[in-house]
A and B are shown apart, each in its own frame.
Chain A
Amino acid sequence: MARRKTDIPFGQDPATRLLPWIVAVMVYIAGLAIAGAFVLAAFADRWEAGLAGALTVQIPPPADEALAAASRDQTVAEVLNAVRSTQGVASAEALASEEMRRLLEPWLGKTVDPRDLPLPTLISVELQDGRHAGNIDMADMRRRIQAHAPTAVIDDHGQWQARLVSFLGALRLVAAVLVSIVALAGLIMVVFGTRSGLLAHRSTIELLHLFGAQDNYIARQFQREALKAGLKGGIIGVAATAATVVGLGHGAASAGTTLPGTAVLEVTDWVILGVLPLATAAIAALAARWTVLRALARMV
């Protein structure tokens, strides 16, 4: 296949020959960050799905034994009302003494009535679909409950998991910031590469102008060059990313780690990675065009 000759001898300057490789390294880093974000998202989704949609509220027995059972029932009723009126709660039920007895039977035998024991009252709280300790207002619920039972304790089962999920969210933000920084650095590289190309080919550009070339004609050549560099670098970078991801996936699988699947990435994730070289090429071309048109406008 014959290489189409450009009026401007781009192939001769080292900056132009190096550009695809610089782009490749940047796309590789960005690609890894994106792939990492996808993996984290998969983890977060799985953990989030596993989060209990339920809580338990414990109301400790009053220190004063003499306190009437009636007053205790009153407190429980108030707490139940408070919990039920909290956003995201589907239902809340106090564990009936029947049930309590059944749970304690293996240890206490049939003769003891749990209501005679200084046991905490347990309230089982069901949350609405999709809600868990990580995404409802726990502080609000605690405030409402403790208004009636200051010593009540909320056991939110998997709140540490919820914290993990939000930590993964933060990591994904870091990945996004990293991608933005790499993209910005790449953009600056293209702009400076184009500027050095303009300088290196100054006399050829002047010649083309003297033949009556429009700025657009000259910009198109730089644009095409940047497009090629972006596409080449993008494909190499994404191929390296894919190889790394697949390699890590196999490594994790053979180490018996329970990564979410050995494929690690989903089809849509791969499609997004596949679009990366095209996006890189388009952005590089636009950056080059903008740089050239701006510079040429200042020429005679």
Chain B
Amino acid sequence: MIRFENVGMRYGTGPEVLRDVSFELPQGSFHFLTGTSGAGKSSLMRLMYLAHRPSRGLISIFERDLSTIPRADLPALRRKIGVVFQDFRLLNHLTTFENVALPLKVKGASEGMIRKHVGELLAWVGLSDQMHAHPATLSGGQQQRAAIARAVVTRPQLLLADEPTGNVDDAYAVRLLFLLQELHRQGTTVVIATHNHALIERFKHPVLHLDDGILMRVGEDPIYDG
């Protein structure tokens, strides 16, 4: 599903924030991505959700070499990827419903389709009663769930969540993880950036560890569900 070979990344003309990163994620896998703050987790995520091009190395995604993909083909690939951003990136002028509906709207889905899927997902994350509220009036946890609903509303093949448990308590984090595991059971490939070690211990998925831009360790004994 995703393959990195000696990938380097820099912002503009700055120093490399990722160096010689190589790994492979099989389809249907579930990985944690750990590392201290500033280690490069979000940067690695940005490469994976095609927001940034590597400064060197090879990335292939959905069996396609990123360096040879024409710009016009990127939207089709991006539509297979769901992202929960570290800062949610909900749009404040839209309601919760409209925010969650946005990726479907971008795909050109019909009004009926949008109503059905968004309604289902808001119920799934427990936000049905907040669908007309604006994100600014939601609690941190509610915003997080809205962001998750938006990330999976298109049934993506790859789900990338950047510290989705960053600002919720442990009990809540566990509930979120169960939500994501459910998606994984349905076949979605999942990568979760987190430095919540209690979660990693509890869910026992393989771990990618970043240390100052270098990928240190890849979990050797993946434990897949189902």
> How far does the alpha carbon of A131 sit from the alpha carbon of B153 in the complex, in Å?
77
Q: Mark A197-232, 1 if CB is under 8 A from B, else 0.
A: 000000110111111111001000000000000000
Instruction: Report the bound CA distance from A203 to B88 in whole Å.
Output: 12
Residues of chain B contacted by A9 (CB below 8 angstroms): 91-93
A203/B89 contact (C-beta < 8 A), A210-B50, A211-B78, A297-B71 known: yes
For chain B, which range describes its interface: under 10, 10 to 19, 20 to 34, or 35 or more residues? Answer: 20 to 34
Query: How far in angstroms is the closest Cβ of chain B from A197?
Result: 14
Confirm or deny: A98 has a beta carbon within 8 angstroms of a beta carbon on chain B. no
**A7-B105, A217-B106 known; A211+B93 contact, CB < 8 A:** no
Measured CA separation A213–B74 after assembly (Å): 9
| Contact call B83/A210, Cβ cutoff below 8 A | yes
Q: Which of A11, A204, A209, A297 has the most CB of B within 10 A?
A: A209
Q: Chain B nearest CB: distance from A17 CB in Å?
A: 14
By a CB distance below 8 angstroms, the chain A residues around B78 are: 209-212
Do B103 and A211 touch across chains, with their CB atoms under 8 A apart? Answer: yes
Q: How many A-B residue pairs have CB under 8 A?
A: 51
- Whether A5 contacts B52 by the Cβ 8 Å rule is no
Q: A210 touches which one: B49, B53, B105 (CB < 8 A)?
A: B49
Beta-carbon contact of A204 and B75 below 8 Å: no
| Assembly CA distance A205 to B98 (angstroms) | 16
Task: Give B105's nearest chain A residue, CB to CB.
Answer: A7
**A/B interface sample: 9 pairs, CB < 8 A:** A7-B105, A206-B51, A207-B91, A212-B75, A212-B76, A212-B106, A212-B107, A213-B75, A214-B75
Q: State how many angstroms separate the Cβ of A297 from the closest Cβ of chain B.
A: 7
| A12 part of interface (Cβ distance < 8 Å) | yes
A300 part of interface (Cβ distance < 8 Å) = yes
Chain B residues within 8 Å of A, Cβ to Cβ = 49-53, 71, 74-79, 83, 89, 91-94, 98, 102-103, 105-107
B126 to chain A, nearest CB (A): 23
- For window 157-206 of A, CB contacts with B under 8 Å fall at 203-204, 206
Q: How far is the CB of B226 from chain A (nearest CB, A)?
A: 29
**Nearest chain A residue, comparing its CB with the CB of B79:** A212
Contact between B91 and A204, CB atoms less than 8 A apart: yes
A207 to B71, CA, bound (A): 16
CB neighbours of A211 from chain B (8 A)? 78-79, 102-103, 106-107
Residues of chain A with a CB closer than 8 A to B77's CB:
212
| Bound: A12/B91 CA distance, A | 13
Q: Which residues from B are CB-within-8-Å of A208? A: 102, 106
Which of chain A's residues have a CB closer than 8 A to the CB of B103? 211-212
Question: 14 additional contacts, CB 8 Å, given A206-B51, A210-B51, A214-B75?
Answer: A5-B93, A5-B98, A7-B91, A7-B105, A203-B89, A209-B78, A210-B50, A210-B83, A212-B106, A213-B75, A213-B106, A297-B71, A300-B50, A300-B53
A contact residues around B93 at 8 Å (CB): 5, 9, 11-12
CA distance A213 to B49 in the complex (A): 14
Shortest distance from the beta carbon of A220 to any chain B beta carbon, whole Å: 11
Distance between Cα atoms of A175 and B44 in the complex (Å): 60
User: How far does the Cβ of A262 sit from chain B's closest Cβ, in whole Å?
Assistant: 50
Q: How far is the CA of A207 from the CA of B49 in the complex (A)?
A: 11
* Closest chain B residue, CB of each to CB of A9: B93
Q: Bound state CA distance, A211 and B83, in angstroms? A: 9
Shortest Cβ gap from A210 to chain B (Å):
6
- B215–chain A nearest beta-carbon distance, Å: 23
Most buried by B among A5, A9, A12, A213: A213
CB-CB nearest in chain A for B151: A211
| Nearest chain B CB to A293 CB, angstrom units | 12
On chain B, the residues within 8 Å of A12 by CB distance are 93
Residues of chain A lying within 8 A (CB to CB) of residue B51: 206, 210, 300
Contact flags A261-300 to B (C-beta < 8 A → 1, else 0):
0000000000000000000000000000000000001001
| Alpha-carbon distance A209/B49, docked complex (angstroms) | 11
Chain A residues within an 8 Å CB radius of B89: 203, 207
Residues of A within 8 A of B107 (CB): 211-212
Residue ID in chain B nearest A218 by CB atoms: B106
Q: Which residues of chain B have C-beta atoms less than 8 A from A214's C-beta?
A: 75
- Nearest chain B CB to A188 CB, angstrom units: 28
Q: What separation, in Å, do the CA atoms of A9 and B50 have in the docked complex?
A: 24
Which residues of A1-17 have CB atoms within 8 Å of chain B's CB atoms? 5, 7, 9, 11-12
Complex-state Cα separation, A203 to B106, whole angstroms = 16
Q: Which residue of A lies closest to B77 (CB)?
A: A212
Of all chain A residues, the one with the shortest Cβ separation from B49 is A210
Q: How far is the CB of B106 from chain A (nearest CB, A)?
A: 4
**Chain A's nearest CB lies how many Å from the CB of B84?**
12
| Chain B residues whose C-beta falls within 8 Å of the C-beta of A297 in the assembled complex | 71
Residue pair A7, B102 in contact (C-beta under 8 Å): yes
Q: Which residues of A contact B83 (CB under 8 A)?
A: 210
